[in-house]
Structure 1
Amino acid sequence: MGDAPTTATLRRARIGDAAELARLSAQLGYPQATDAFERRLRRLLISADHPVIVATDDDTMLLGFIAIEHRLMLETGDRVEIVGLVVDDAARRRGIGQQLVDAALDWARDIGVAEVIVRSNIARDESHPFYERAGFERIKTQHVYRRRVDR
């Protein structure tokens, strides 16, 4: 814990990371069973447009992860979106989140995409200054609607 910078090892997620990804996601308020994470991760691992990058210091326990995706938007063109970012509660404020964001920026650069966006829930007070320090600018506030599809 604490504020000492940590240089974590970053690597692409592997199927064996599913339990750790589920653990971290629960810290963010999205608890899911490990098998659900494993099923989703299997699909993401074969997609060139949906990398998941993890941070670790021992290659077993994860310190955090970032999930990103390459999107082609009809109205705005290509962009990369950070769709998930979490750093373990015990590893926060050590630079790991910034390392993960930098990895997303590097990936966007590597695939020739000039814009990275992230959406942050208004209730996540700590994330807003983090993203602003990381060079992101707030461009809009929006409502998100959901409708279930009858099966």
Structure 2
Amino acid sequence: MADAATTLRRARIGDAAELARLSAQLGYPQSADAFERRLRRLLISADHPVIVATDDDARLLGFIAIERRLMLETGERVEIVGLVVDESARRRGIGQSLVDAALDWARGIGVGEVMVRSNVARDQSHPFYEGAGFERIKTQHVYLKRV
């Protein structure tokens, strides 16, 4: 659990620059404008919540982006599609609090599975997810083709 000064809330459009800053720490640098455009679309979707952690309601300590997915072959599940905790705020329980919020959201909408994908290069994330009760179920290659 995060320390008492940390609060979780839904992302707001004014968080776009902070979300971009945090995403860059994970190796995904994007402009604040790009984040704002994407966030505007996500904020109107009931199936794509973004939850942020903050201690002063201005500077973000972390965020988790989740989505409700319906897959033909496996059914419905929630997927954690982004989780970042600020480099200066790690090891304070913020990541676990964000994951707990995602699990609570999944339970609240009646979905019984939460999945997360973690790049093999992210050595610190693997023990984190295993410690949070996630089980590794497969290893895969990811392919991309630009169209």
Please report the TM-score for the alignment, with normalisation by the length of structure 1. Answer: 0.95
Picking from 69, 78, 103, the partner of 1:105 is 103
Could you say what secondary structure the match of 2:24 adopts?
Answer: helix
Picking from 93, 116, 119, the partner of 1:118 is 116
Please state how far the C-alpha of 1:40 moved relative to its aligned partner. Answer: 0.1
Distance in structure 1 (CA, Å) of the matches to 2:69 and 2:88: 32
Could you say what secondary structure the match of 1:70 adopts?
Answer: strand
Instruction: Could you list the structure 1 runs, at least 4 aligned residues long, displaced by more than 6 angstroms after superposition.
Output: none
Counterpart residue number, 2:82: 84
Picking from 18, 21, 36, the partner of 1:20 is 18
Deviations 1:11-32 (A, max 9, x none): 0000000000000000000000
Could you say what secondary structure the match of 1:11 adopts?
Answer: strand
Matched residue pairs, number? 146
Which residues in structure 2 correspond to 1:1-151 (within 5 Å)?
A: 6-7=3-4, 8-149=6-147
Q: Which residue type is aligned with residue 133 of structure 1?
A: G
Could you say what secondary structure the match of 2:67 adopts?
Answer: strand
Distance in structure 1 (CA, Å) of the matches to 2:31 and 2:3: 29
Root-mean-square deviation (CA, aligned residues, Å) is 1.1
Distance in structure 1 (CA, Å) of the matches to 2:96 and 2:13: 24
Could you say what secondary structure the match of 1:37 adopts?
Answer: helix
Q: Which residue type is aligned with residue 107 of structure 1?
A: W
Q: Give unmatched runs, 5+ long, in structure 1.
A: none
Deviations 1:48-73 (A, max 9, x none): 00000000000000000000000001
Q: Give unmatched runs, 5+ long, in structure 2.
A: none
Q: What is the percentage of aligned positions where both structures have the same residue?
A: 86
Please state how far the C-alpha of 1:33 moved relative to its aligned partner. Answer: 0.3
